[in-house]
Amino acid sequence: MNDRVCVVTGGNAGIGRAIVEALAQQQARVVLVSRDKMRGETAVQEIHSALPQANIDLVVGDLSSVDKTRQLAQTLLNRYPAIHLLVNNAGVWPTQKQLNEDGLEMGFMVNHLAPFMLNQLLQERLRASAPARIVNVSAGLYVNGRVDLQKTPYGHDFHPIRTYASTKLCNLLCLPLEAAQLAGSGVTINAVHPGVINTKLGIMRGPLGWLMKLVKRSWATPEQGAIVPVWLATAPELAEVNGRYFNEKEETPLAEVAQNTELATQLWQLSLDLTQITAAIS
């Protein structure tokens, strides 16, 4: 990974930060994308304190709207003539309905539409830098998702747990289409459920929130959660593996709910329409 440019979204905390640290230990040039400048700077400073040799750049980027995600992609293209790895790690778990400036439910935007946009807008650069990889950090809860394209993108069917699952399902519905798009290009895309990890996602208030905090104490650490995404990003034996879903280190067929090709095609087209991106399905 020496000097290979690796972009990690949501890299200032949780699994993302652990991924940044692991890639930096392998001598990669890591681009830590953080929505908050101060938190990003703090993360970079703390990592440098522990790993003085770490080669880390901070890019401030917001995935909460179509325009802001487009701006992030343009910043990355302007700064980096080559991009060898994109880890779509950033995610949100809203516990109440939030709409962004586009009128889209925030979980749908950040968990699905933003990585979809980055995959498309950075694709030419990744192809030019091949061999290159895309890793989508997913969640096993996708199996509980139910996607209604008239409701889910706009939060009309919002539920504090099911909506998170549905937005992760959106991401996986598009995985086979993105893999087909990249076939033969030297760029691969795979998705991973990193395990049940103790992060700040899904924090709730009240008695249920306190209960979740207690339960989370028994969950795996972010460092443990980073192991499989980093493996997918770097392992030589996975160089040609494309369009696969891994439950931790076990390659696992997508559940039936994620194999609805008609829904996937409709979601793909809606995602293009919402972002004004032109990208045909191969």
Sheet containing strand 245-247, strands side by side: 55-60, 29-34, 5-9, 85-88, 132-137, 187-193, 245-247, 250-251
Contacts of 214 (CB under 8 A, 6+ apart): none
- Secondary structure letter of residue 105 according to DSSP: B
Amino acid at 15: I
- Rounded Cα–Cα distance for residues 111 and 102 (Å): 15
Best CA proximity match to 134, nearest among 23, 7, 34: 7
- Rounded Cα–Cα distance for residues 217 and 121 (Å): 38
Distance of CA 249 to the CA centre of its chain: 17
- Rounded Cα–Cα distance for residues 17 and 11 (Å): 4
Q: Yes or no: say if 26 and 4 are a contact pair by the CB < 8 Å rule.
A: no
Tell me which residue has tokens 């640290």.
Answer: 21
50-to-6, 38, 43, 45, 53 alpha-carbon distances in Å: 19, 19, 11, 9, 9
- Rounded Cα–Cα distance for residues 282 and 30 (Å): 31
Where in the sequence numbering do the catalytic residues fall? 164
Best CA proximity match to 167, nearest among 130, 243, 115, 240: 115
